[in-house]
Amino acid sequence: MQYIDRLEQAEARYNELTAKMADPAVINDPDEYRKVSKAHSELTELVTKFLEWKKVDQELRDARVMLEETDPDLRQMAELEVTRLEPELAAIEHELQILLLPKDPNDEKNVVLEIRKGAGGDEASLFAAEVFRMYTRYAEEQGWKVEITSMSESSVGGLSEVIAMVSGKKVYSRMKYESGVHRVQRVPATETQGRVHTSTITVVVMPEADEVDVHIDAKDLRIDTFCSSGPGGQSVNTTYSAVRITHLPTNTVVSCQDEKSQIKNRSKAMQVLRSRLYQMELEKQLAAIGAERKSMVGTGDRSEKIRTYNFPQNRLTDHRIGLTLHQLDLIMEGRLQAVIDALTSYYTAERLRGAEGQAA
């Protein structure tokens, strides 16, 4: 099998780390133990799959030896075993290839989710609210936490803009292909002649940046406070709890008024600002690497329509991968997993082809 040396090295490293985790010196050093434990955990899935491959590979070798038996019954048993084990081994090898691909360092991170209305006026704002609800329902199914940082409602009860933090296990790995222009086709409630209208919204998914990921100099910030607006009880329009932070070098502006505490709003705004600056840096790197690589990792160009939601036909179409599902009603209720899985499989296959091309 290809990559056998790398797999054997991974197994040796895994065994070394297992021994370290039982070393009293490591156990008594919390920082070192955490470091060793993390490295051990990162290798567990790969090594477990490699051990499974070695077991099935040995069984297949034994079965092929039995094909040389003179006893016809034994040969028949061996043929059945070979027929069963060959596709099983091939499937495990494919899984190992995927596990050996370089990990996206952001996959484990939480995300900043931004949704804004595009073309279509009120209808676009209504759809923005529905898509945010869709993602919120999906997050609930995954056991993730959604915290709204800022929200701007439209006059018809939709959303002109909403920014939220989504935290949980491997959020970015599942949400990273959602960035782009989402198009809706349906008859608006205000349409009297039954005509189908087309509107758009933009979705941006950014990995949450830690302080170590992005250095922000205090002198580059202008911080303003103002009275919050909207729901919030007695504190609304009476205390300067809302915060607006401007990053002067990039003219990036972030506001947060979700919390009653100015300190909490400032902290949330800084989280969003760090993530936006981090995303800017990632996009610069991808632009430098080239368009081919950019499409491979699937960052989602915001200028392109990535998906259409056609309500009259109960159809969702993802234009990047040619996926069409006639279950839009379920998807809008947060049943997004089929779409997420299809996108992940497609871009993983693209990365595999790229890796095989480099190996060749």
Based on the fold, state whether residues 308 and 202 are members of the same structural domain: yes
Angle between helices 4-21 and 72-100 (to 10 degrees): 70
Residue-number span of the structural domain to which 66 is assigned: 4-100
Q: Could you read off the pLDDT of 17-39 as tens digits, one per residue?
A: 999 999 999 999 999 999 999 89
**Is 106 a member of any domain?**
no
**Is 17 a member of any domain?**
yes
The pLDDT score that the predictor gives to residue 286 is: 58
**Is 295 a member of any domain?**
no
pTM beyond 0.85, yes or no: no
Based on the fold, state whether residues 74 and 117 are members of the same structural domain: no
Say yes or no to pLDDT of 145 above 80: yes
Of the three residues 68, 100, 132, the one that is the final residue of a domain is 100
Both structure tokens of 298: 């699937």
Residue 77: CATH number of its domain: 1.20.58
Residue 272: CATH number of its domain: 3.30.160.20
Based on the fold, state whether residues 143 and 61 are members of the same structural domain: no
Based on the fold, state whether residues 129 and 158 are members of the same structural domain: yes
Based on the fold, state whether residues 201 and 311 are members of the same structural domain: yes
**Is 290 a member of any domain?**
no
Q: Could you read off the pLDDT of 285-318 as tens digits, one per residue?
A: 656 544 433 443 333 334 468 999 999 999 999 9
Of the three residues 100, 129, 144, the one that is the final residue of a domain is 100
**Is 294 a member of any domain?**
no
Number of folded domains in the chain? 3
The pLDDT score that the predictor gives to residue 135 is: 98
Based on the fold, state whether residues 314 and 201 are members of the same structural domain: yes
**Is 243 a member of any domain?**
yes
Summarize the chain as % helix, strand, coil (round to 5): 50, 20, 30
Phi and psi, residue 9, nearest 5°: -65, -40
Find where tokens 């043929």 sit: 79
Of the three residues 233, 248, 282, the one that is the final residue of a domain is 282
**220 touches 249 (CB < 8 A):** yes
Based on the fold, state whether residues 118 and 46 are members of the same structural domain: no
Residue 332: CATH number of its domain: 3.30.70.1660
Based on the fold, state whether residues 32 and 83 are members of the same structural domain: yes
Based on the fold, state whether residues 315 and 264 are members of the same structural domain: no
**205 touches 107 (CB < 8 A):** no
Based on the fold, state whether residues 204 and 304 are members of the same structural domain: yes
Based on the fold, state whether residues 306 and 176 are members of the same structural domain: yes
Q: pLDDT band for 111, please (50, 70, 90 cuts).
A: very high
Based on the fold, state whether residues 115 and 205 are members of the same structural domain: yes
**Is 287 a member of any domain?**
no
| Count of other CB atoms within 10 angstroms of residue 334 | 17
**Is 148 a member of any domain?**
yes
Q: Could you read off the pLDDT of 37-79 as tens digits, one per residue?
A: 989 998 999 999 999 999 999 999 999 999 998 899 999 999 9
